[in-house]
Structure 1
Amino acid sequence: MHNKTETMTVHKIPLPTPFLVGDINVYVIKGDQVVLVDTGPDTKEAETALINGLNNLSLKVEDVDVLLLTHHHPDHIGLAYLFAETALTAGHAKLKPWLEKDEAHYQRFNEFFRAFLLENGMERKWIEAIENQREKYKKFTKPTALEMELEEKESDVPGLPGWGVMETPGHAQTHLSFYRKEDGVMVAGDHLIAHISSNAIVEAPYNEHEPRPETLIQYRNSLEKCSWVTKVLAGHGVDIQNPSKLISERLSAQEAKARMFLEKMNGEKMTVFDLTKKIYPEMYKKQPDLTFSETIGHLDLLRKSNQIAAVKSNGMYVYEQIL
């Protein structure tokens, strides 16, 4: 009998994206079935690169049996529709409205964020800029169906015997990572990237009566969860050969950054957006959503350790240091 690790080979295909993050890596895993993890955005350049990458492995689009999607961002799901006729498409249950481009879902998300960003000090012009950016991102996907919902499980990943699914929320509420139990190799999407720290992006709750997810705290828990992994095949950049070391560095860096945020508050009462502008005086104009996410994530961390408190006054949340 052949060793599964030897017979099930993983191949990386880099694809261009129009986003600041640069190329995305998608992965073909060849065993008894052909599995593709992620797809790249819906652009002609990415589609050509994906088809050429498959051809280099003596494959065509219709040869893919299973499409696994790590999370809902357009650089990871944009070309999923190409595989709708011939492959099983699988991902997190929360991926469904994003993959199907459910307009009611988009509207509910936008309504949540308008109110949420206003009560955390953001001016309307920046909220409108964020909404416009989201509309642009939608153009990099086409609707398709999620045929199988996956949850955390040590076995039975479709098309991948001997692999498990790990729920790794933080960067996205839909985020899944896939790991081979035999040798600890993980295909991790944007969960862990060597050259940049993944942003713990703020999202609306998926159920109306749930609180907003504290994404940086989630992300830290997800990092700790996979500290045993031996190698990470990342969605961007190079393979990570010593994940536990990088995870430890990222966790320490987040704690140091939270201390920096506290120092920048300098005893003042501040809204999230006030502090965002203070710490990112130029960057917030280009990326108001990501800089806001960074700020509120580290404030969540400080609040969890009882170093600051949030008080709502005149319809707006103000953070202050606990002395």
Structure 2
Amino acid sequence: MRIELPAGVTQLVLPTPWLVGPVNAYILHGDPLTLVDTGPAMPEARAALVNGLAAQGLKPSDIELLVLTHQHPDHIGQAAWLVEQSGATVAAYHGLAGELADVPAMWARIGEFTAALMTRHGMPVHECAQLEANNLRDQRYGGGSFRIDLGLADGQVLVAGGRRLTVHHRPGHSPSDIVLLDELDGLLVAGDHLLAKISSNPLSHPALGARDSVAASAEDRRARPLLDYISSLTSTRRLGAQLVLPGHGPVFGEPGALIENRIRLHRTRADEIRQALAAGPRTARQLVEVLWDGLSDEVLWLGVAEVIAHLDLLLDEGRIRMETVDGLTRSWAAQAERAVA
């Protein structure tokens, strides 16, 4: 059943070059006139954005406030261009200020970090070379550099599109994810934190503000995105949202059951990995074959990242052991597991 958007909110569906498909941007028509997210820096997305605004009697120059839900290129790629057109105030998670001031450098650090992490967890040289090529190709969709005018923090209230939106930091999919809740009607601007049709990838990133991207991939220093994501989901469940505006796919109603299903999915996936490790030590790259059959070069690294995230969960629960020797990390099943709540 199609869910209608509330008055004063318009969804724009913008193309991307990735398998995830289109990305959503939202116009909040009140004061200040607000756009949430921008789509990637590609001609097709720009045309869709301009045409979508025009259908509402608007031009890019009319936008007064640009809100960015997180740092990924399908959400910020056209931000620098839009700011040039409009002079809009830019609001995003405060930890992104240094990153977005030099967007090409941010993509380079993320690419270097990801390559180091994949190598450490068993991705062979030829697959890493393909990953690097894909990353270099994709950086062009990330757009130019720009300044954050309003650095948003957890609990802050942002006036946008005639609404008072409370900011909630929700790391996991990225370290910069935020959701914004209108407590009057339960409208939740969710970005990629909550999606109806697909599960958000818990992705490791270099720490915001980090400049030593390779060292940041060391096992004792990087963030554990799935632990963060499950904690974030649990916090979001308590917000009592009534209508969710996601970064991809259709809008949807009360997210409580969806959140429970997402957490259950991650627990089931972790159990499958733990069972596979009972046969002996494996790298994350080897464990990809346990969960998926024949991933394409385009998404193979996402599979490895997903396994790494679930290994973090199992390690935190005392269900596996992990060791890095000569730059290669392997995991194996613990003989005695701690009880998991």
Aligned amino acid, residue 267 of structure 1? A
Over aligned residue pairs, what C-alpha RMSD do you find? 2.2
Is contact 1:79-1:142 (8 Å) kept? Answer: yes
Alignment counterpart, residue 165 of structure 1, candidates 161, 164, 167: 167
CA distance in structure 1 between the aligned counterparts of 2:317 and 2:154, rounded to whole angstroms: 28
Aligned amino acid, residue 226 of structure 1? T
Is contact 2:73-2:143 (8 Å) kept? Answer: no
Deviates more, 1:99-108 or 1:283-292: 99-108
Q: Matches of residues 103-122 of structure 1 in structure 2 within 5 Å?
A: 103-122=104-123
Q: How many residues align?
A: 318
Is contact 2:118-2:301 (8 Å) kept? Answer: no
Alignment counterpart, residue 222 of structure 1, candidates 232, 237, 251: 232
Is contact 2:167-2:179 (8 Å) kept? Answer: yes
Is contact 1:39-1:80 (8 Å) kept? Answer: yes
CA distance in structure 2 between the aligned counterparts of 1:56 and 1:294, rounded to whole angstroms: 39
CA distance in structure 1 between the aligned counterparts of 2:18 and 2:296, rounded to whole angstroms: 17
Report % sequence identity: 31
1:17 pairs with 2:16: yes
Q: Matches of residues 270-289 of structure 1 in structure 2 within 5 Å?
A: 270-283=282-295, 285-289=297-301
After superposition, the Cα gap between the structure-2 partners of 1:7 and 1:242, relative to the gap in structure 1 and judged at 3 Å, is closer
Q: Shift in Å at residue 105 of structure 1?
A: 3.9
Q: Which residue of 1 aligns with 2:338?
A: none
Q: Shift in Å at residue 55 of structure 1?
A: 1.3
1:34 pairs with 2:36: no
Q: Which residue of 1 aligns with 2:247?
A: 235
Any idea what SS the aligned residue of 1:140 has? helix
Q: Which residue of 2 aligns with 1:255?
A: 267
CA distance in structure 1 between the aligned counterparts of 2:95 and 2:303, rounded to whole angstroms: 24
Is contact 1:155-1:161 (8 Å) kept? Answer: no
Q: Matches of residues 1-323 of structure 1 in structure 2 within 5 Å?
A: 9-85=8-84, 86-96=87-97, 98-148=99-149, 149-157=151-159, 161-206=163-208, 207=210, 211-227=221-237, 228-283=240-295, 285-323=297-335
Query: Which whole-Å deviations, capped at 9, do the CAs of 1:292-317 have from their partners, x for residues lacking one?
Result: 11101111111111100112233322
Any idea what SS the aligned residue of 2:180 has? strand
After superposition, the Cα gap between the structure-2 partners of 1:158 and 1:145, relative to the gap in structure 1 and judged at 3 Å, is farther
After superposition, the Cα gap between the structure-2 partners of 1:273 and 1:256, relative to the gap in structure 1 and judged at 3 Å, is same
Q: Shift in Å at residue 156 of structure 1?
A: 3.3
Is contact 2:40-2:75 (8 Å) kept? Answer: yes
After superposition, the Cα gap between the structure-2 partners of 1:45 and 1:118, relative to the gap in structure 1 and judged at 3 Å, is closer
Deviates more, 1:102-111 or 1:88-97: 102-111
CA distance in structure 2 between the aligned counterparts of 1:130 and 1:100, rounded to whole angstroms: 25
After superposition, the Cα gap between the structure-2 partners of 1:64 and 1:105, relative to the gap in structure 1 and judged at 3 Å, is closer
After superposition, the Cα gap between the structure-2 partners of 1:142 and 1:12, relative to the gap in structure 1 and judged at 3 Å, is same
Is contact 1:202-1:293 (8 Å) kept? Answer: yes
Aligned amino acid, residue 271 of structure 1? T
Q: Which residue of 2 aligns with 1:3?
A: none
Any idea what SS the aligned residue of 1:59 has? coil
CA distance in structure 2 between the aligned counterparts of 1:193 and 1:15, rounded to whole angstroms: 16
Aligned amino acid, residue 289 of structure 1? W
CA distance in structure 2 between the aligned counterparts of 1:267 and 1:120, rounded to whole angstroms: 18
Any idea what SS the aligned residue of 1:188 has? strand
